[in-house]
Amino acid sequence: MQIIGASWLWVCDPNFSILKDSALLIQEGRIAQVGDYARLVDSHPKAPSVFYPHCVLMPALINPHVHFEFSNQQNSFVYGSFEAWLTSVIQQRNQVLRHAHKSIQQAIAQQLKSGVASVGAISSYGLDRTLLANSPLRVVFFDELIGASTPIEPTLHAFQERHALSLQHKSPTFTPAIAIHAPYSVHKDLAKRVLSTLQSPVISAHFLESQAELEWIEQQKGWFAHFYKDILGVPHPKPLYHSVAEFLDLFKNQRLLLVHGLFASKEHLKYAKKTAQLTLISCPRSNRLLSGQILDLTPLEKLGIPFSIATDGKSSNYNLNFLEELRTALFAYQAPLEELAIQLVLGATWHAAWALGLNNGSLQTGKLADLAIFNFKGKGTPADALHWLLHAQKAKALYVGGELAI
């Protein structure tokens, strides 16, 4: 049992409640009580207690979409067009993936330093599995399925083997899950076989990240025809799905993270929301570098679709600093400033926890004691979120399941 308190406590519930001079009573890695610091100490005199003055105590942040395996990438991939980027990935990825060990460890350290305790890690090859399983991070580990060719069996068996290795690491801080790479790269029979034979508590998929992807599915033409013919050597390529809806039907009633969605129409989003338990994951720096666009939040707001921010991987970013990613979103997205800052904080806590199916992301009784503490002289008003976001550089302390991680 321990008591952790601070000058300001951000509950990170949908009302963005702020408590002054408050604390958490922590028992067996969970929040047992939330209340006034002095009163909690009085009523539990034997519990060790710590108070962080001039600080904010909030749920540890959650980065729901990272490709750790590409942490070595600096200037091997081409930016400025999604098409040029994807071509360069096909050509250069082997050299980028080599000797990635040290840079993966640095990327993990960068998460912790930015106050991130939970990640949604997209793993294409399993190179990051043991490093993540042995790290202090709470990880939802998405083995990513990719494969457009038939017969599907060789890819299916290789994936089953990769996922079986992940299942061996299953623990309270390591949840194996499945990612379907994208509509342009995963054969529907393969996706269906994987999703019907393997359980996944949550599914992640890249979705309508480029105009070319939309044109390929909806009009069966454009750059992807050239990509399949000339780069992958497929003689008569056809899209792998008849429509966007057919891709989304793979995920009926599942907890689903759709990543990017830059070229999704309101109709696509409406259908996705109806079909699955949806969260939209937006990666503003990756989107700027690859597709040259920033997500429009208006349709999400109109449809009541929750969103969270993520860094993506160094495959499409210059670092994995989650606080910098949130700040980029603050400057790039069109929305009233103070309210946007609150929504970005809630996206990184409350909504991201729901998206990944984690019992954290909010300082409420029963939640896991995954906590971040930052230096911050607040005023206790809603504008605090904005001022914190503008200046936050690194966490002063980070707890995962009540244990100090940094």
The residues of the shown chain that bind ligand MCF, judged by CB under 6 A, are 67, 70, 89-90, 122, 124, 144, 181, 185, 206, 209, 286, 312-313, 315-316
Q: How far is the CB of 308 from Fe ion (least distance, A)?
A: 13
Q: How far is the CB of 315 from ligand MCF (least distance, A)?
A: 4
When CB distances are held under 5 to 8 angstroms depending on the partner's kind, the choice from ligand MCF, Fe ion, none that residue 124 binds is ligand MCF
**Residue with the closest Cβ to Fe ion?**
312
Q: How far is the CB of 112 from ligand MCF (least distance, A)?
A: 21
* For Fe ion, the closer CB: 288 or 377: 288
Structure-token match 């750790």, residue found: 68
Contact 170, 176 (CB under 8 A): yes
Q: How far is the CB of 49 from Fe ion (least distance, A)?
A: 41
* For ligand MCF, the closer CB: 135 or 317: 317
List the beta bridge partners of residue 49: 3
* For ligand MCF, the closer CB: 288 or 377: 288
When CB distances are held under 5 to 8 angstroms depending on the partner's kind, the choice from Fe ion, ligand MCF, none that residue 325 binds is none
Q: How far is the CB of 358 from ligand MCF (least distance, A)?
A: 21
H or E segment and range at residue 340 = helix 337-346
When CB distances are held under 5 to 8 angstroms depending on the partner's kind, the choice from ligand MCF, Fe ion, none that residue 70 binds is ligand MCF
Q: b/e for 128-165, b at 16 or more Cβ within 10 A?
A: bbebbbebbbbbbbbbbbebbeeebeebbeebeebbee
* For ligand MCF, the closer CB: 325 or 384: 325
Give the binding site for Fe ion (CB under 5 A).
312
CA angle 252, 157, 132 (to 5 degrees): 75
Q: How far is the CB of 316 from ligand MCF (least distance, A)?
A: 5
When CB distances are held under 5 to 8 angstroms depending on the partner's kind, the choice from ligand MCF, Fe ion, none that residue 209 binds is ligand MCF
Q: b/e for 297-317, b at 16 or more Cβ within 10 A?
A: bebbeeeebbbbbbbbbbbbb
For 141, the 3-state DSSP assignment is: strand
Q: How far is CA 101 from CA 77, 84, 130, 221, in A?
A: 19, 27, 10, 40
* For Fe ion, the closer CB: 143 or 370: 143
CA angle 262, 268, 269 (to 5 degrees): 75
